Amino acid sequence: MKTTIQFITTVICSISIISCKSQSVGLVADGAELNQISNKYSFTEGPASDKNGNVYFTDQPNDKIIKWNEADNTLSIFKEPAGRANGLYFDHNGNLLAAADDKNELWRINSNGIVDTLITNFEGKKLNGPNDIWVDLQGGIYFTDPYYQRPYWERTTAEIEEKNVYYISPDLKKITVAATDLVQPNGIIGTPDGKTLYVADIGDQKTYSYTIQNNGTLTNRTLFTDMGSDGMTIDNKGNIYLTGEGVTIFNPKGEKIHHIPINEEWTANVTFGGKNQNILFITAKGSVYTLKMNVHGVRYND
């Protein structure tokens, strides 16, 4: 009997291990290697893909937004100066939204680089410093607003004590607090069906999920994992990608299923780009990297 039990246990454990392995190994394309596109920057952040698969990212210390052209793997400056932009995201009309950290604003930038400032304050007080952005199905805008003291600011304290997540209505006429009770909210991403929003509280080393209501309000705050993140993205399997020490991938249940090591002191952000949305684009310190995946992004699904 003891031998039979040991055999069954071994088989069950083996099945479990194979299942986990197949889930993680299947994420990255066979034979794919991490490719460093460039290491000439100071601190890269905020990658966002356009409909053609090109990825825009920021080099905040050098006040630039750079474009990676997917077709020929080249880099070019899209905008300089760039409002000390941090996080980026494209709206449904192809405009680039930027968390313009210089004056704590939210920008909308058209294809010609012309800026329309959407937000300059909240209830008469200067925002802490918009950081990362996500746009819902209706065109409403969520953004995180932590406080990181910048050397180029004249102020040394926050005018708004709370570090919140805000929501701008689709008509851009109303801004409300969407999520509170966070230490330092940072990375943010939503599911393609528009029903769930993930927010990383890097200051408390937690990531939460929220249910998105039709009017943009958030309910049902639930702990997703005991890990914070600088930036984040999601794939077509519903897996969530968190950053910091490389890229750590969690399945929709909040279980860690894979880790992509990056040989940098810090990995700031990640998104999917490329014509087929199967290129994982990673910003880490002064570098940017790509990695071909078997899974793909969900932003521009037909």
The whole-number average pLDDT for the span 168-175 is 96
Nearest CA among 226, 259, 223 for reference residue 243:
259
Q: How many CB atoms lie under 10 A from the CB of residue 165? A: 25
Phi and psi for 25 in degrees, rounded to 5? -65, -35
pLDDT value of position 272? 98
CA gap 293, 59 in Å, rounded: 25
Whether residue 91 contacts residue 97, with contact meaning beta carbons closer than 8 Å, is answered with yes
Q: Report residue 302's pLDDT band, with 50, 70 and 90 as the boundaries.
A: low
Domains of the chain, by residue range, sit at 1-31, 32-292
pLDDT tens, position by position, 53-95: 999 999 999 999 999 999 999 999 999 999 999 999 999 999 9
Q: What is the DSSP letter of 237?
A: T
Worst-scoring range by mean pLDDT, 17-21, 23-27, 172-176? Answer: 17-21
Paired residues of 197 in beta bridges: 190, 210
Digit-coded pLDDT (tens) for 109-166: 999 999 999 999 999 999 999 999 999 999 999 999 999 999 999 999 999 999 999 9
Contact 147, 163 (CB under 8 A): yes
- Among residues 245, 241, 246, the alpha carbon closest in space to that of 225 is found at 241
Task: For residue 108, give the nearest of 124, 125, 90, 126 by alpha carbon.
Answer: 90
DSSP SS3 for 284: strand
Rounded to an integer, what distance in angstroms lies between the CA atom of residue 166 and that of residue 3? 59
Q: Dihedrals φ, ψ of 14, to 5°?
A: -65, -45
Tell me the per-residue pLDDT of 244-256, one tens digit each, with 9 for 90 and over: 999 999 999 999 9
CB under 8 Å to 15, separation ≥6 — which residues?
A: none
What is the per-residue pLDDT across 205-256, written as a single tens digit (0 to 9) for each? 999 999 999 999 999 999 999 999 999 999 999 999 999 999 999 999 999 9
Asked if CATH classification 3.40.470.10 holds for the domain at 32-292, the reply, yes or no, is no
**Token output for 44:** 């890269």
